[in-house]
Amino acid sequence: MGNDRWHFDGGGYSRIVEPMGVRLMTAVWDDIRRVFQLQSEHKWAAKTSSLSERQDKLSRLRSEIVARANDIQAALSADLAKPGRTPYAPEVESMLTAIDDAVAHLEDWARPLNVEPSPNLLRTAPTVEYEARGVCLIFGPWNLPFQLLLEPLVPAIAAGNTAILHPNELTPQTAKITAEIIRAVFDERHVAIFDGHVDIANKLLELPVDHIFFTGSPRIGKIVMAAAAKNLATVTLELGGKCPVIIDGTHDAVESASLVAVGRHANAGQLCLATDHAWVKRDHLPAFLDHYNAWIDNKLYRDDELDDTAMSHIVDEHNLNRILSYIDDARARGAEIVRGGHRATRVADMIEPTIILDAPHDAQVMTEEIFGPVLPVQTFDDIGEVLHYLHGRPKPLAMYIFSDDPAFVDTVIANTSSGGVTVNGFATHIAESRLPFGGVNHSGSGRYHGIHGFHEFSNQRAIVRHLPAPALAPGDKAATAV
């Protein structure tokens, strides 16, 4: 794979990038191997580190993030024009929450699980103990470049691992500030970061690490899994998928449409959990479109012009043209473009919020993860139509159901599969840190967040300790040992 020219994207495409010079790549490869050797030796010290030492490292990471919060927001704005927020950017807030959760609960997470022995093994003490996996390789995506690179690092450190990080090259300013934070907090024996060209990612994948955590597209996830198989490394894949929305019209119409709009336009739709396409009960369609359009007009426009400060921009020209090509494909196949459908007039790297009605099921907007502010809408009369469609598609990372009919909700959940489900909300299942987050099959493998992340970065080790035989009273005969 050393000469492959592919790139870790957060959507569903590959971008050709010219390889680094041979001399420079050789120097970088030497440095990567040096750091890997350091971490391979240090992982045993990290494994036996105390919980308080791990908590201290996480607290130092938190302090550095807080100290650099303005720099992080500036980097995110430079890379993706992400709207600011007081006091912290959403990605910073998410990181602080993850660190606080780990520091507060690490002692509970790490406590060995005592198991009741089987009847024929009564003089034993079986336990499940959590040990570090070892050297972990963590790849971050470009859509949430700060949060989704460092968020997996939190449970990796909590579980006693060492880690090598690779931020995505499409967000260079965020990669730069992230590297500065990591190097300020950690010795490279413990946590190191290699930012920059995609050839570095290829080289990192050649390392015989113990665990790989990758966030990105399903297609690149297959490459990561194949690389991991060469060394039998364990893998966590947080991938994408076309997350469907199903609306039967029984839930509040304004709230349903507004939350779908939030899910479609957050980060300009460049989210793996975005509301990718909506199935709306036919008689509810006019109300849905009215309220969805009203949300867009109120939240994303100013003086009848798209507000370039209200929504993130598309990450690069390649992605922007990709999204526009999906719209053109749907239009050419006879779909109705209800709203938008073109590049923003005042801002070159934005696309007008777009609604596409009744696109053919083989149109690109229905087969490819969109990763943009474009919502395909399909109508249905009977839920069986929707279920039949979903049964023929890969399992998504998330599913959203808007309904006040418990029987309807139960029918959809029982007859579908996805990484998670939120009913009458957007992505609430990821906000609840006590729930496991992850995909299934095409949308990923493994789980993290909270204790589930600690377990994901740990080997759950089965240990049985034989107990000494009880002392015999004078005159008793010895029993047969169990």
DSSP letter string, 228-259: HHHHT-EEEEE-----EEEE-S-S-HHHHHHH
Can you tell me whether residue 214 is helix, strand or coil? strand
Radius of gyration of the chain (CA): 25
Question: Parallel, antiparallel, or unpaired: how do β-strands 162-166 and 135-139 relate?
Answer: parallel
Asked if residue 266 lies in contact with residue 274, where contact means CB atoms within 8 angstroms, the answer is yes
Give the integer Cα–Cα distance in Å for 2 and 4. 6
Helix axes 22-47, 198-205, angle to 10 degrees: 50
Nearest to 81 by CA among 350, 275, 263, 301: 350
**Burial 24-58, CB ≥16 within 10 A → b, else e:** ebeebbeebeebbebbbebbeebbebeeeebbebb
Name the active-site residue from 272, 352, 368, 456: 272
Tally Cβ neighbours within 10 Å of residue 128.
Answer: 12
Alpha helices by DSSP H, 405-476: 406-414, 428-431, 450-456
Q: Is the omega angle on the peptide bond into residue 117 within 30 degrees of 0, that is, cis?
A: no
Q: N- to C-terminal Cα distance for the chain?
A: 53
Q: Which two tokens stand for residue 205?
A: 């994948």
Name the active-site residue from 91, 151, 169, 238: 238
238: annotated active-site residue = yes
272: annotated active-site residue = yes
Give the integer Cα–Cα distance in Å for 7 and 168. 9
Which residues are identified as catalytic?
238, 272
